[in-house]
Amino acid sequence: MTPVELSRTVLRALRQAVDAGELSVDVGRSLDRDLDRGLGRDPDAPVESGPLPVRVEKPRPGGRGDYATNIALQLARAAGRTPRQVAEVLSPRLAAEPGIAGVDITGPGFLNITLAGARDEALVREILERGSCYGHVHPDTGALAQIHVPREIRAVVIADSARRILRSQGVLVRVTCDDAPDPAWADVLGVRVDAHGRPPQPLPTLRPVPAEADGAEGPLRLGRDAARWALLHPAAHDHPRVTAEQGGDQHLVQRESNPLFRVQYAHARSRALIRNAADLGFTAAPGDTGLPLGTGTPLLDALATHPAVLASAARHRAPDRLARHLVVTADAFLAFQSAPHSAPHSAPHSAPHSAPQSAPCGAPHSAPHRAPQGPTRRADRGQILPMGDEKPSAAHRARLALAEAAGTVLAGGLSLLGISAPDHL
């Protein structure tokens, strides 16, 4: 959102407050004309042609957000209220506007505005800076936890993943079991316990619904990734599907109906985009994606809530919460990267691309399509990678950064579940 657009937004909030009777401002004909110009009601007098009716500027020392305005101080006398009271009327209306992440009131009544795009850029930057540690707690909190489980394969796998998640939250964890686990569980599933044997005093015991089969028909036949997912993805009180009769083989198929495949495919797709971008000579850089407001919001929301999901999964010893969140994140990323968007500044004469930017989930994909060279440049339709003879822009770098952030979160989450995040599928 530009300062011009933000000025119009502030004026719109003021107009709505006056119309709703929340403010009674005797602005006179001069300011009223400026309001009309700022809202674009007079096509012959665009706001860009003269001074902005509402001044917005970078916050001064002590301020917050991306922009600040003193409109409440200017109108307080005409409104018959204090500047802070005027600001308190305008603040919720501004906060509800698209493209605004939040509004703070500072000093006698300055409105400090945080733009959604700036918040999104900061989120992506934080994820890329922290990498697989995004959402983790550092340094250790000093808290201690013990997880005791019966000698049952699902209980041991859940305890192993819960240990990883608790460690990510700065907790030191000890896992114990009633008896020594089957060595094959460690060999195939990568689980471990710190001690085994009946405790001298009863301990709170983690007792999920057990897998109904073991041995040749049990989860080990699925291999590490599929077996751990089959045991971890359902809530502890739900029955896992591990045998062929239960539909356990569905954890192995490379189809959209398989949540594990979608999560791993989404990670592999994000890495493929990074490789393809390198072939085109550019890298990721957080910034303005140049996409319409609201584009990518489900993905950004999923990335933003990842730390809270980790904390909840640790608190409840519930890896299934993380597994389900990874599915939400993967689905949001696949929807974001596969559907072309109408970028706000696309050239009107450019022809639309004849094919989607990437293959649908589960289908093979190749390097970015390159159209024959010609005099006509393609419009930026919001793809992550430039198409045809289009040159990489700052918006492409920002979209690639969002894709890389999604892949980073997916890889980190899969690691906590003890599942691989392949770069190729």
* pLDDT, averaged across the chain: 83
Lowest mean pLDDT: which of 61-75, 139-153, 181-195, 312-326?
Answer: 61-75
Surface-to-core class of residue 6, CB atoms within 10 Å of its CB (0-12 exposed, 13-18 middle, 19+ buried): buried
Q: Residue 404 pLDDT more than 90?
A: yes
What is the per-residue pLDDT for 295? 67
User: Phi then psi for 147, rounded to 5 degrees?
Assistant: -115, 120
Surface-to-core class of residue 177, CB atoms within 10 Å of its CB (0-12 exposed, 13-18 middle, 19+ buried): buried
Lowest mean pLDDT: which of 243-252, 301-310, 330-339, 359-368?
Answer: 359-368
Question: CB neighbours of 54 closer than 8 A, spacing ≥ 6?
Answer: 7, 10, 11, 14, 38, 69, 71
DSSP label at residue 305: T
Q: Residue 420 pLDDT more than 70?
A: yes
What is the per-residue pLDDT for 30? 36
Predicted confidence (pLDDT) per residue in 27-78, tens digit: 433 345 454 544 444 434 443 434 446 888 888 776 777 889 999 988 888 8
What is the per-residue pLDDT for 375? 39
What is the per-residue pLDDT for 343? 46
DSSP label at residue 215: G
Rounded CA separation 165/163 (Å): 5
- How far, in whole angstroms, is CA 206 from its chain's centroid? 31
DSSP label at residue 202: -
Q: Residue 92 pLDDT more than 80?
A: yes
Place of tokens 């907790």: 171
